[in-house]
Chains A and B, each alone.
Chain A
Amino acid sequence: MTSHFQPNRRHVLAGATGLIGLALTPEQAAAAAALAIAADWKIAFADLEGDLAPRPLQRVHGKAPAGLAGTLYRNGGAKFRRTKGQATHWFDGDGLIRAFRIQEGGASLAARFVDTPKRRADTAADGVISGGFGTRSGPGARIASPDDVNAANISVIRRGDKLWALWEAGSPFEIDPASLATTGMVTLRDDLAHMPFLAHPRFEADGRIWNLGQVGDKAVIWQLSPSGAVQAATPIALPRASYIHDFTITARHIIIVLQPWVYQGDSPVPMTSLTWQPGLGSQVLILDKADLASRRVVELPTFFAFHMTSAWEAPSGEICFEICASPQPDFVIRTAVDLMAGTYTASSDPKLSLITVPTQGTARIESTGVIAEFPRTDGRGSGPNRFTLHATTQAKARPLFQGVGVYDWRKHQDLVFDFGPDHLVEEMVFTPRPGAVEAFDGWIIGPTINLRAARTELHVFDARRVDAGPLVTWAADVAVPAGLHGMFWRG
């Protein structure tokens, strides 16, 4: 906690004391503050009723580093409730594209909802009739394909002069990067309409894109050109119908983690078709990029994970990658449901872990013990990641995180900046300093929601000195609901 944030702490105590109107002991004040904080987190999961016109952000402290210019694009659900019904899972809100622009030392924010058939149908019905991953569809919905429940709400990528808002079980939506207006749904090829396309595509150094789509135990491996044209869409069979949110690649292989959270049965709500079967263990499916029919499956102990980092391969052929692993999927099953009902249920901590798959013998998963989600790496180079950026410090009595960390794999040390309980930390991203050669020579950029001040803030850190706190912080005049994933586009 730097001095910049101490006034907030004092404000918390002063506010709590004022509320009660009595002199409090420090213990009473702390308890009152904790109660107040417990109520505050709901603004991070509230509804945004309309688009946000571009607005300047006010500088709170610090100075934007010279040479930093570009836009942080982020996505995430931001409209969950309507008069006649609501999303019953955090992952089912309408996608909102946020653009945080940093230019000439200043910053601005604009945000616009993705214009999906789901949002149109739900708006017309004034209910949430087009369900989703954990929300049941209602009467009157028209659901001819997964794209009719596509909320376009998980991530956003930029390719050339286009943004793609990504969901998981359906098509990307093309967005204009300047106005954030939706151009339309992307049909990658006529015969591939309405196919699943995950929100975590992986990129080759030359810009070519690998992605995965999944329906039960069937999957498709997408290969796209840097501009997003289909080069191949190859069907593959999965050894089991696991829930898949992310995957990774090495120079030669595609790596798909198959956890024992498995689709069974035919519920109209996909999440309720998933059964946690810890006795099965976890598996890693390794495909040869050059021959997708060539595969290997290795066994690991049971864990659950959403996210992993880029993978690498030793000269021996040994494959390594990092993963944020929890003992079970209790966040997605319980916490993400309850917080739509306005209550917080604690769930198990995801821990930054390293998976090693030797060419022969037993694969292993080793935990650093560091609480971590939203892992991001430098993105340049193909060897072991020296540093991993992540959200950390699970907040008490409310969902998600309050710190940002950088794990140093050489020193086995996690440098952390803890914003304190007033801030809900979202995914942060790394961007290199122009001309940088060294790993993690650059900046960490990302938002928090200042729950106390009820506003979204944007922070920039020196990536090598995250523990020193933000180099610059700007504040918006509005709290934008917590988002999921995005990327920084320089320029």
Chain B
Amino acid sequence: MKLQVKHPLLVSAALAALAAMLAGSASAADLSLTFKVHQSQKGALMVAIFDTETAYTGDGQAVRQLKLDIASDTLAVVVPGLAPGRYGIKLFHDLNGTGKLTFNMFGIPTEPVAFSNNARINMRAPTWAEVSFELPDAGVAQTIDID
């Protein structure tokens, strides 16, 4: 069986201070995120938020990176200060505390991965069209399941 799932999902553990940088921008909206962790309750969620297809698809820079320690099966967080527009999210469940998505010796991820819109990996990572959503001035909420 040949299943090669490639995830350019290498999120550094450091939290970017982008929120502060953007605090003064003219227009900003709130992105409310809820994460439901269905399996192991250990470790952290490593979340990367992208604002372009190029950044999402390639190894481009995320506009926000979050590390959320898992304290319960539901985590809620509000990401403030994002410019209204189109966004996509990918995340992985860092079970082993390495801060990086871990793969087995045949290149299959050994940690759960998830995407905005609950878009699914189906032999390949979901596309920008499948993960992206509109963030209007009034803000928006996304609920993402992690299996």
A143 to B121, CA, bound (A): 5
A111 to B3, CA, bound (A): 31
Decide if B109 touches A215 in the complex (CB within 8 Å). no
**Contact flag A273-B120 (CB < 8 Å), given A192-B104, A194-B108, A195-B105:** no
Q: Mark A150-194, 1 if CB is under 8 A from B, else 0.
A: 000000000000000000111000000000000000000011111
Contacting A at CB under 8 A, from B68-106, are 95-96, 102, 104-106
- In the complex with contacts A133-B1, A145-B3, A190-B121 CB distance below 8 A: no
Known: A190-B96, A192-B104, A220-B105. A146 touches B3 (CB 8 A): yes
- Min CB gap B11→A, angstroms: 17
| CB contact under 8 A between A141 and B110, given known A191-B104, A263-B2 | no
Give the most central of A140, A144, A146, A192: most B CB within 10 Å.
Answer: A144
B103-145 to A contact mask, C-beta < 8 Å, 1/0: 0111011101100000011110000000000000000000000
A9 at the interface (CB under 8 A from B): no
Q: Name the CB-closest residue of A to B118.
A: A142
Q: Mark A3-28, 1 if CB is under 8 A from B, else 0.
A: 00000000000000000000000000
A194 to B113, CA, bound (A): 14
Judged by a CB distance under 8 angstroms, whether A481 is at the interface is no
Quick check: is A368 within 8 A (CB to CB) of the other chain?
A: no
Q: A215-B106, A220-B105 are in contact. Are A146 and B1 (CB under 8 A)?
A: yes
A145 near B2: Cβ-Cβ < 8 Å = no
The 4 closest A-B pairs by CB, nearest first: A169-B1, A193-B110, A142-B120, A144-B121
**Total B residues in contact with A, Cβ cutoff 8 Å:** 21
Q: Which residues of A contact B2 (CB under 8 A)?
A: 215-216, 263, 266, 270, 273
Chain B residues with CB under 8 A of A105:
none
Nearest CB to that of A129 among chain B residues? B122
Q: What residues of chain B lie closer than 8 Å to A146, measured between beta carbons? A: 1, 3, 108
Instruction: Please report which residues of chain A, range 185-214, place their CB below 8 angstroms from some CB of chain B when the two chains form the complex.
Output: 190-196
Closest to B103 in A: A191
Of A140, A194, A216, A235, the residue contacting B110 (CB under 8 A) is: A194
For this complex, into which size category does the number of interface residues on chain A fall?
Answer: 20 to 34
**Residues of A close to B106: CB separation below 8 A:** 195-196, 215, 218, 220
**Given A144-B5, A144-B121, A196-B1, 12 additional A-B pairs, CB 8 A:** A143-B3, A144-B109, A145-B3, A145-B5, A146-B1, A191-B104, A192-B110, A194-B104, A196-B106, A215-B1, A268-B123, A270-B2
Q: Which residue of B lies closest to A265 (CB)?
A: B2
Determine the chain B residues whose CB is within 8 A of the CB of A273 once the complex forms.
Answer: 2
Q: Check A137–B122 contact: CB distance below 8 A.
A: yes
Indicate which residue in B1, B104, B113 contacts A270 across the interface (CB closer than 8 Å).
B1
A selection of 25 A-B contacts at a CB cut-off of 8 Å is A133-B1, A141-B120, A142-B121, A143-B123, A144-B109, A144-B113, A144-B121, A145-B3, A145-B109, A146-B3, A169-B1, A170-B1, A191-B102, A193-B104, A194-B110, A195-B104, A195-B106, A196-B1, A215-B106, A218-B105, A220-B106, A233-B105, A268-B123, A270-B2, A273-B2
User: What is the CA–CA distance of A194 and B108 in the complex, to the nearest angstrom?
Assistant: 7
Given known A-B contacts A190-B110, A195-B104, A140 and B120 have beta carbons under 8 A apart: yes
Bound together, the chains give a CA A268 to CA B22 distance in angstroms of 43
B44 to chain A, nearest CB (A): 16
With a cutoff of 8 Å between Cβ atoms, the chain A residues found around residue B122 in the complex are 137, 139-143
Find chain B residues with CB under 8 A from A190 CB: 95-96, 110
Distance between A294 CB and nearest chain B CB, rounded to angstroms: 20
Shortest distance in angstroms between A185's beta carbon and chain B's nearest beta carbon?
11
Q: Which residues of A contact B108 (CB under 8 A)?
A: 145-146, 193-195
Which of B2, B96, B120: most chain A CB closer than 10 A?
Answer: B2
Most A CB contacts (10 A, CB to CB) among B1, B105, B109 go to B1
Min distance, Cβ B108 to any Cβ of chain A, angstroms: 5
The residue on A at minimum CB distance from B102 is: A191
Q: How long is the Cα–Cα vector from A266 to B123 in the complex, in angstroms?
A: 11
The closest CB in chain A to the CB of B5 belongs to: A144
Q: CA separation between A235 and B1, bound complex, in Å?
A: 16
- Give bound CA distance, A270 to B3, whole Å: 9
